[in-house]
Structure 1
Amino acid sequence: MDEFHEHELHTIDHPLYEILRNEEVKKFNQQKAELAELPSFAHGDFRGLDLRGLDATGLDFRHAYFRGADLRGIDFSRSRMEGSSIASAKISGCYFPHRLEADEIVMSLNHGTRMRYAILPKPPAGG
């Protein structure tokens, strides 16, 4: 069962968001590279989009909605993905942030749950 509700999605008022929503990935990557500060795509609606080739480095996709999107080959390892959902997305070849455990990814892919980051142990005091 999908846990997202329409009211949780935000329309993001930024030209890069519109470019991405129009699946113009090459144009998005070019314009992203020219920005000193990246916009947040938190709570964004990316349902059903073909985002293959996306440079996701540094992007904030917290609580974003990727149901049915084609994400094949995207490196999300340096993106923020906590709380996002990838229900029924195509994820072959994706890298995900190291704090996302495999079972969180599978639960989100199969059941639409939001992905939660693993709680990392605190380093020992004085070390």
Structure 2
Amino acid sequence: MAEPKITQDPLYQLLRDGKMEEFNHRIAQGEKVDLTSCDFRHLNLQGLIASGLDFSNSYFRQADLRGIDFSQAISLRGASIHGAKISGVYFPTPLTAEEITLSLQHGTRMRYRD
């Protein structure tokens, strides 16, 4: 597994800077961003609208994900949420509670149920 990346993509940088409203607005306007394999460690992502976004293989160690609805995200396959704040998070149905717990407590990469 490759190291999580910090890209220079302007939309990804908005997330790193905590500018959720601007990010959400630009995505709603049709701008595209590649968030696969990205580094979200220690970021506060509260308020992120995740619908239609692909977070495959991304790294959310100790990120604040509280209240995010990932149910309509393209994928969290291979993502890790070790130590993240996940109160109120709505995960995609193919992720079992066991997968989420293993990732939260041990940093395992989440696998989707077939």
With structure 1 as the length reference, what TM-score do the two structures score? 0.84
Q: Deviations over 1:74-109 (max 9, x none)?
A: 000011100000000000000111100010000000
| Correspondences of 1:23-62 after superposition (within 5 Å) | 23-35=18-30, 38-62=32-56
Number of residue-to-residue matches in the alignment: 113
Misfit runs of 4+, over 6 Å? none
Percentage identity across aligned positions? Answer: 50
- 2:14 alignment counterpart: 19
Partner of 1:122: none
Q: Distance in 2 between matches of 1:26 and 1:90?
A: 20
Computed over aligned residues only, the root mean square deviation of the Cα atoms, in angstroms, reads 1.3
Counterpart secondary structure, 2:25 = helix
User: How far did 1:31 drift?
Assistant: 1.0
What SS is found at the alignment partner of 2:103? helix
Query: Residue 68 in 1 paired to residue 49 in 2?
Result: no
CA distance in 2, matches of 1:20, 1:8: 19
| Structure 1 residue 32: Cα displacement | 1.0
Structure 2 regions of 5+ residues with no counterpart? Answer: none
- Whichever of the two has the greater Rg, that structure is 1
The superposition leaves residues 6-39 of structure 1 with CA deviations (integer Å, 9 ceiling, x where unpaired) of: x521233421101011111111111111115x32
Match for residue 113 of structure 2? 118
1:123 aligns to what?
A: none
Pick from 95, 102, 107 the counterpart of residue 107 of structure 1.
102
